[in-house]
Amino acid sequence: MLKYLARRSIYMLVILFLSTIGIFYALRYASGDPSSSALNPLATEEQRDVFRDRIGLNDPIYEQYFRYMGTLLQGDLGESVVNGRQVSDQLRQNGKNSLILGLSALALSYLIAVPLGVLAAVRRNTWVDQSALGGAAAGMGVPNFWLALLLVWLFSLTLGWLPSAGCCSWQQLILPTLVLAAEGTAIIMRMVRSSVLEQMNQDFVRVLRAKGVPERKIIGRHVLRNALIPVISLSGLRFGQIIGYTLIVEVIFRWPGVGFLLVDATLRRDFPVVQFFSIMLIFFVVLANWLAELGYGIADPRIRRA
C-alpha cells in the first residue's frame, strides 16, 4: 500500500511542478514586455532595462517562478491587468459558484449512473438495458453545447419553466447541472454496467450460489462491492473532466464561476488571472485524481494489504 501511495504521490508532485512551471514560463513569454505599457513610449532601452530589473524580470526564470509560487502561497494571488481587481477577491466570489455547480453535477451523474448501470447489467439485453445503452450513446454523442441549446430552447424559450442564464437561484442551477452531468452519467453508467457484468461472470459468484446465498444478496453484497472498486478510480478522472467542461458550461449559461473567469480572461489576455486560475484548476484535477487513487487503494484489500 505504501509503495502504491508513494508512486501516485510522486506522479502528483511531478505533474504539478511541470505544469506550473510550464504555464508560468509560457505566460511570461506570451505576456510580453510590460515595460512598454508601464513606461513612457519614448523611454530608452536602458530605462526599460532598469524598469525590468526593478520588477525582477531580468532574473533567471526559475527564480521568478519560485518567487511567484512563494507569493501565491502567502495569499497574494496577483491582480488583473484588465480591471485591477484582486484575483483573490474574484476567487472568493466565483470559486463558491463553481464548487456548487461542479459538485451538483458530479453527484447527479453518480446518483443516476450507478443504479442504472447495475440495473442494466442485471437485466441484460432486456429493454431496460437497451434503452440505458441507447441513452448513454446519445449522452456521449451529443456535444454539450448543443444539449445546452436544446434544453434552453425547450425549458426556457418554449416552456418558460427555467431561466436560461445567470446565477444563483436553484432554478438557474438546474440546466447547467444537467448539461454538465450528461456526459459523465453516460460514461459512468457504461462502466458500472460492464464492471457488474464482469463480476457476475467470476467464479466466486458460482460458489456463492452453490453455498445457497440468495441472488439479491450475491448482487447487492458481493458483486456490487467488487464492481464499484474500479468506479472509484474512475471518479478522479470524472472530476477532472467536469472541471474541464465547466469552462464551457459556465460560459454558455453565464454562470459566474471560475471557469467563466478563466475563459473570459483568456479572451482578454488578462495574464495574471489566466495564470493563477490555470494553476489552481490543474491543482484540483491532480488532487482529485490522487484522492481517487487513494480511495481505490483503500477499497481493494489486495492493494491495501499487499
Partner 1 sequence: MSTDAATLSDPSDPETGSVLSIKDLEVSLLFRDGSVQVVRDLTISVSEGETVALVGESGCGKTMTALSIMQLLPDPPARITRGSISLDGRELTTLKPKQMRKVRGDQISMVFQEPLTSFDPVFSIGSQLIEAIREHRSGVSKKDAREMSIDILREVQIPEAEKRIDAYPHELSGGMRQRVMIAMGLILNPRVLIADEPTTALDVTTQSQILELIKREQEQRQLGVLLITHNLAVVSQVADRVAVMYAGEIVEQGPADLIFSDPQHPYTQGLLRAIPDMNSARTFLLDIPGRVPDPRATPPACHFAPRCPHGIERCWQEAPKLERVDERHQLRCWNPQPLDEHVVPPDEWREDREA
Partner 2 sequence: MAIATREREDWEQRAAKLDARQLSPTKEALRRLWENKLTFFGAIVVLLYIITAIIGPSLAPHDYADQTLSDARIPPPDSTYPLGTDALGRDVLSRLLKAIQVSVIVGFGTTAIALVIGTLVGLVAGYHRGRVDTLLNGLTEMVWGFPLILIAVIIIGVLGPGLKGVIIAIAFINWAAFARVVRGETLALREREFVVGARALGKSDLHIMFRHILPNTMPAVLVMASFYVAFAIIAEAGLSFIGLGAQEPLPSLGQMVADGRDLLLTNHWLSTIPGLTIVLLILALNAVGDGLRDILDPRLRIER
**Region of 43-51, 88-96, 115-123, 278-286 interacting with partner 2 (CB under 8 A):** 278-286
Angstrom distance (rounded) from CA 107 to CA 103: 6
Which residues contact residue 193 at a Cβ distance below 8 angstroms, ignoring those fewer than 6 apart?
117, 118, 120, 121, 129, 132, 133
14 binds partner 2 (CB under 8 A): yes
| Binding at 127: pick from partner 1, partner 2, none (beta carbon under 5-8 Å per type) | none
Count CB neighbours of 25 within 10 A.
14
- x-marked contacts with partner 2 along 167-196 as a string, rule CB under 8 A: --------------------x---x--x--
| Binding at 30: pick from partner 2, partner 1, none (beta carbon under 5-8 Å per type) | partner 2
| Binding at 210: pick from partner 1, partner 2, none (beta carbon under 5-8 Å per type) | partner 1
Angstrom distance (rounded) from CA 282 to CA 88: 17
Write the DSSP symbol of residue 39. Answer: S
Shortest distance, CB of residue 154 to partner 2, whole angstroms? 11
Shortest distance, CB of residue 28 to partner 2, whole angstroms? 10
81 binds partner 2 (CB under 8 A): no
Shortest distance, CB of residue 110 to partner 1, whole angstroms? 20
| Binding at 282: pick from partner 2, partner 1, none (beta carbon under 5-8 Å per type) | partner 2
Would you list the DSSP string of 78-132?
A: -B-TTT--BHHHHHHHHHHHHHHHHHHHHHHHHHHHHHHHHHHHHTTTSHHHHHH
Shortest distance, CB of residue 168 to partner 1, whole angstroms? 42
Shortest distance, CB of residue 226 to partner 1, whole angstroms? 6
N residues, the chain: 306
Angstrom distance (rounded) from CA 189 to CA 16: 30
Q: Which amino acid is at 183?
A: E
Q: Which grid cell is 109?
A: 451523474
Phi, psi at 83, each rounded to 5°: -120, 5
Shortest distance, CB of residue 187 to partner 2, whole angstroms? 7
What 3-state class would DSSP assign to 167? coil
**Region of 23-31, 52-60, 104-112, 212-220 interacting with partner 2 (CB under 8 A):** 23-31
Q: Rg (Cα) of the chain, in Å, rounded? A: 24
| Binding at 226: pick from partner 1, partner 2, none (beta carbon under 5-8 Å per type) | partner 1
Angstrom distance (rounded) from CA 58 to CA 35: 12
Q: Candidates 55, 157, 168, 207: give the one binding partner 2 (CB under 8 A).
A: 157
Applying CB under 8 A, which residues contact partner 2? 11, 14-15, 18, 23, 26-27, 29-30, 137, 140-146, 149, 152-153, 157, 187, 191, 194, 236-237, 240-245, 247-248, 251-252, 262-263, 265-267, 269, 271, 274, 278, 281-282, 285, 289
